[in-house]
């Protein structure tokens, strides 16, 4: 079946999750952060994802902004930077993450080819609205879908079901794109066509399903969706 709908994960896929720590590290008075920011960014992201999985298993949902703050607290302490002012600055920057350079032109190409486009994210609606507005990509999106509609994080199948409910499309008419291998695999298991944006060049996760395509960035998504 032809692809009619392209769905994107947000954080790490469209938006650069390392940007907050990187930008803060360049600011005056942040020599301590500058020395460790890559590790802090990695710790922050890893704990952010781990907490979503653990909360889903425990049945103790909290919105993604809460999880993001909890993960940052762990990362700051782990790196010896438990500073309330730095915490506030990093969270402010996280609300306005930059999109990867190829994102606007990629989304514009999809819309020019007549495809529906949307975000499907763990992010809470206020977080996603801020990020989309900051990146200036709202005009290229038909919708922004949040897990808050179902109260559980990915990879719960109910999250992927938000797409077919919203767009009234068959599962195999969806191209789902994520920078998380586990997310792309879960979406493939749900029945979507999937592309994993493997920016770090890491191995494929050993899960029940596998991504259909593995790409280094988002540049080729329009050609993949409309061959």
Q: Could you give the C-alpha distances from 15 to 34, 104, 217, in angstroms and in order?
A: 21, 11, 12
Across the range 182-193, mean pLDDT stands at: 98
DSSP 92: H
Identify whether 9 is a catalytic site residue: yes
> What are residue 6's DSSP bridge partners?
117, 175
Same fold: 5-15+98-225 with 19-94: no
Q: Tell me the pLDDT tens digit for each residue of 111-164.
A: 999 999 999 999 999 999 999 999 999 999 999 999 999 999 999 999 999 999
Across the range 40-68, mean pLDDT stands at: 98
Query: Per CATH, is 19-94 categorized as 1.20.120.1200?
Result: no
Homologous superfamily assigned to 5-15+98-225: HAD superfamily/HAD-like (3.40.50.1000)
Q: For the residues of 134-164, what is the DSSP string, one character each?
A: HHT-GGG-SEEEEGGGTT--TT-HHHHHHHH
Classified as helix, coil or strand, 172 is helix
Give residue limits of the domains in the chain: 5-15+98-225, 19-94
What pLDDT score was predicted for residue 227? 80
Who's near 51: CB < 8 A, 6+ residues apart?
67, 70, 71
How many Cα neighbours within 13 Å face the side chain of 146?
A: 15
What pLDDT score was predicted for residue 76? 98
User: Does the pLDDT at position 1 exceed 90?
Assistant: no
């Amino acid at each position: 079946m032809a692809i009619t709908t392209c769905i994107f994960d947000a954080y790490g896929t469209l938006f650069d999750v390392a940007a907050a720590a990187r930008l803060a590290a360049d600011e005056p008075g942040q020599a301590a952060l500058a020395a460790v920011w890559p590790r802090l960014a990695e710790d922050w992201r890893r704990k952010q994802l781990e907490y979503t999985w653990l909360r889903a298993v425990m049945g103790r949902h909290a919105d993604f902004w809460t999880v993001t703050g909890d993960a940052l607290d762990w990362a700051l302490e782990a790196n010896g930077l438990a500073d309330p002012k730095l915490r506030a600055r990093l969270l402010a920057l996280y609300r306005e993450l930059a999109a990867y350079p190829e994102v606007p032109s990629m989304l514009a190409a999809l819309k020019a080819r007549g495809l529906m486009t949307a975000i499907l994210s763990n992010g809470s609606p206020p977080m996603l609205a801020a990020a989309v507005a900051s990146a200036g990509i709202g005009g290229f999106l038909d919708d922004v879908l949040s897990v808050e509609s179902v109260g559980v994080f990915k990879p719960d199948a109910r999250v992927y079901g938000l797409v077919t409910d919203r767009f009234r499309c068959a599962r195999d008419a969806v191209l789902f794109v994520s920078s998380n291998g586990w997310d792309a695999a879960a979406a493939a298991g749900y029945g979507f066509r999937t592309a994993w944006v493997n920016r770090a060049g890491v191995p494929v996760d050993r899960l029940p399903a596998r991504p259909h395509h593995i790409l280094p960035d988002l540049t080729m998504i329009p050609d993949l969706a409309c061959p």
